[in-house]
Structure 1
Amino acid sequence: MTITVPALAAPAANQPLVRTTISLRTPGANDVAIDIKFAGICHSDIHQARDEWDIGLFPMVPGHEIAGIVSAVGSDVTRYRVGDRVGVGCFVDSCRECANCLAGEEQYCLKGEVGTYNARYYDGTATNGGYSTAVVVDENYVLGIPEGIELSEAAPLLCAGITLYSPLKNWQAGPGKKVAILGMGGLGHMGVKIAHALGAEVTVLSQTLSKQEDGLRFGADHYFATSDPTTFTELENHFDLIVNTVAANLDMERYLGLLALDGTFVHVGIPTEPDQVKMFWLASQRRSIAGSKIGGIRQTQEMLDFCAAHGIGADVEIISVDQVNEAYERVIRSDVRYRFVIDTASFGNETRADA
């Protein structure tokens, strides 16, 4: 039996997303079928739907911030039951054999993790993302969403949340550490909340002070404008860790100068053009530059449990499927506080089963 569900797809690069239908695979013994309730909009959805990274597979159903309810499970599934609150993040499979997968770092799979959308499983089958009403995923790549987080606020945690949690944990943000979050968008606002909950002294570095009130409300101790030159003198040699959420080329010498001895500047916002750095700025205070992706399944579940325990969810604006194209333009203009989330009920009741 084939299950056909409504979806929103980019038919080709740089074309508006349109309503369509997609067919889901018949759930296997290890599969979990999920009724999607909410799907977050990540800026990478826009990059890929518009083929700005030259990796587009069209037609494309974006979405890797998925929250929903289990509707069916395969015969061998042990982790989930019908009715469970679950999520799906940025990937839905990996080789499961390489050293990184065996270490629980599937996001760094040496064969290449299988993206939730705009990707192919190892058998060549295309993946479809969360801009739809249902998805079927192997139970090993499904996350449990604890009670205490609204599903709409949990969806962005599956990308924005784990993208910030992973480097903050890896570089040991916590009591006694001075942490800066560079940028106050969908990623940055999660970084502030999580770093604060970890016990770090948190500073927001944003181009202007327009979101200062929000930043302080999210838990920031300090807020500085990077457009003000005095910021870079006042905060010189100050931070143990800077997490950069801005996908743009920066004057790296100015920002490296903000790091204290053994401080680290971590990129999670990835610019399309390379940066240039004079090694003096690293050697002078034994500083480091690093990059980070998302987390593996184990760490993503840890992040969800942590957020539930600390009452953390994303600040969201819930929209209908017919508002997504407009939302894309607003994301580009930074006109969202702080994550758009699609309410999939706005598709209507269009699911059908064909024998």
Structure 2
Amino acid sequence: MSTEQIPEKFSGWLGHEPEAAKGKMVWGEFEPKTFEETDVDIKISHCGICGSDIHMLSSGWGPTPYPCCVGHEIVGKAVRVGKEVKNIKVGDRVGVGAQAQSCLECVDCKNGNATYCKKAVNTYGSIYPNQKDKSYGGYSNYNRTHGAFVVKIPEKIESADAAPMLCGGVTVYSPLVRNGCGPGKTVGIVGVGGLGHFGVLFAKALGADRVVGISRKNDKRDDVLKLGADKYIATGEDKDWAAENARTLDLIICTVSSEKMPMTEYLSLLKVGGTFIQVGAPDGGNLPPINAFTLITNGIKVGGSLIGTPQEIEEMLQLAADKGIKPWIEVRPMKEANQAIIDFEKGMPRYRFVLEN
């Protein structure tokens, strides 16, 4: 039972049109989903800024149901907990990632793949199955989410550090774990930005023998080596990088989302039987073509990965707590959210922005 007065309407930064992605969100009230006894209300302290926020504000991934309040790296205090929620109690410090609900009954949900449930509800910009309620995100003062998708934050992790792990972190953690990252493996991380810097941190924490950061320019070399990478490749500046590093990696996680990226050269870095996993999601969804013989003559696999389940988020957070993993972040006041997304689009974060109430 909460002693805190929770408003009937929540308030946050709302995008009303694609121009919102250019720093033109407007602070205002919105109607959260109807409270059910499976839900948790969270008083938000921090919310990370993710590239997905910009895609959604701009309708880059399809028409956005405006008004939309983005943000799916939410940390705060549970202030109201439904009677059917068993894993969270009022007063807990909790987090929510990019998913707010699933059916919890289909084969995928029961097999630990709730991320891929066909009835999944995103933390923002989704219409609930009742066709009346809409999900709103964490650039706001409160959030309401199904308890199955709310996780506790370990004491050893600061709230600002935990926030970007809830989407950015688990988006690379999940495919690393599911594709065997660990001792004896060599792992490449393509695109060392907000997602990619987590890729380096978690690949090392999971015990990979060798981690290689791969980016276009040399300006991130020192950062990537400080993050723990064993090697850095600048594809736009290192001569003959593909030939010199051919068949050296067991696994590549690609956070880049561009139709112009050198896909054939990336795939050539894989050992026979190696795996390439795409997590970067470009507007329109198009990637460079892949030649069939590139796959056949090297025996390699190409796949994709979405986000991560609540169980994977909990495992990742515990790993971060145990290993003392600390992301590279810059905290901005929530009131400066518009300027923060402008600076985000300029490529200024090293390597994640986190908004703070």
Normalising by the smaller structure, the TM-score range is over 0.9
1:54 equivalent in structure 2: 62
Q: What percent of counterpart residues are identical?
A: 39
Measured in 2, the distance between the counterparts of 1:258 and 1:78 equals 46
For residue 155 of structure 2, the aligned residue among 142, 147, 158 is: 147
Measured in 2, the distance between the counterparts of 1:179 and 1:269 equals 17
1:179 Cα offset (Å): 0.3
For residue 209 of structure 1, the aligned residue among 218, 224, 235 is: 218
1:190 equivalent in structure 2: 198
The answer on 1:10 being equivalent to 2:23 is no
8 Å Cα contact 1:204-1:224 kept in structure 2: yes
For residue 272 of structure 2, the aligned residue among 261, 274, 294 is: 261
2:91 equivalent in structure 1: 83
8 Å Cα contact 2:200-2:213 kept in structure 1: yes
8 Å Cα contact 1:2-1:23 kept in structure 2: no
1:193 Cα offset (Å): 0.2
Measured in 2, the distance between the counterparts of 1:302 and 1:280 equals 38
8 Å Cα contact 1:150-1:313 kept in structure 2: no
The answer on 1:305 being equivalent to 2:318 is yes
Measured in 2, the distance between the counterparts of 1:327 and 1:76 equals 37
2:186 equivalent in structure 1: 178
Q: What SS does the corresponding residue of 2:213 show, helix, strand or coil? A: strand
Residues 236-247 of structure 1 aligned to structure 2 (within 5 Å): 236-247=246-257
The answer on 1:287 being equivalent to 2:300 is yes
Amino acid at match of 2:300: R
2:3 equivalent in structure 1: none
1:275 equivalent in structure 2: 288
Q: What SS does the corresponding residue of 1:112 show, helix, strand or coil? A: coil
Amino acid at match of 2:352: R
Measured in 1, the distance between the counterparts of 2:179 and 2:217 equals 27
Amino acid at match of 1:14: E
1:219 equivalent in structure 2: 228
Q: What SS does the corresponding residue of 2:318 show, helix, strand or coil? A: helix
Distance 1:2 1:317, change over 3 A: closer
2:76 equivalent in structure 1: 68
Instruction: Count the aligned residue pairs.
Output: 343
1:198 Cα offset (Å): 0.7
1:251 Cα offset (Å): 2.1
Q: Where does structure 1 lack aligned partners over 5 or more consecutive residues?
A: 345-355
Measured in 2, the distance between the counterparts of 1:230 and 1:313 equals 34
1:92 Cα offset (Å): 0.8
Amino acid at match of 1:104: G
Q: Where does structure 2 lack aligned partners over 5 or more consecutive residues?
A: 1-5
Q: What SS does the corresponding residue of 2:315 show, helix, strand or coil? A: helix
Amino acid at match of 2:232: Y
Measured in 1, the distance between the counterparts of 2:36 and 2:280 equals 36
The answer on 1:252 being equivalent to 2:257 is no
Q: What SS does the corresponding residue of 2:108 show, helix, strand or coil? A: helix
1:26 Cα offset (Å): 5.8
1:350 equivalent in structure 2: none
Measured in 2, the distance between the counterparts of 1:150 and 1:67 equals 10
* Deviations 1:87-140 (CA, angstroms, capped at 9, x unpaired): 00111111112110111211100x231000000111121111011111122211
1:231 Cα offset (Å): 1.5
8 Å Cα contact 2:257-2:287 kept in structure 1: no
1:25 Cα offset (Å): 4.6
Measured in 2, the distance between the counterparts of 1:18 and 1:322 equals 11
Measured in 1, the distance between the counterparts of 2:84 and 2:280 equals 39
1:41 equivalent in structure 2: 49
8 Å Cα contact 1:70-1:86 kept in structure 2: yes
2:127 equivalent in structure 1: 120
1:314 Cα offset (Å): 2.4
8 Å Cα contact 1:14-1:51 kept in structure 2: no
Q: What SS does the corresponding residue of 2:335 show, helix, strand or coil? A: helix
1:314 equivalent in structure 2: 327
Amino acid at match of 1:312: I
Measured in 1, the distance between the counterparts of 2:356 and 2:202 equals 25
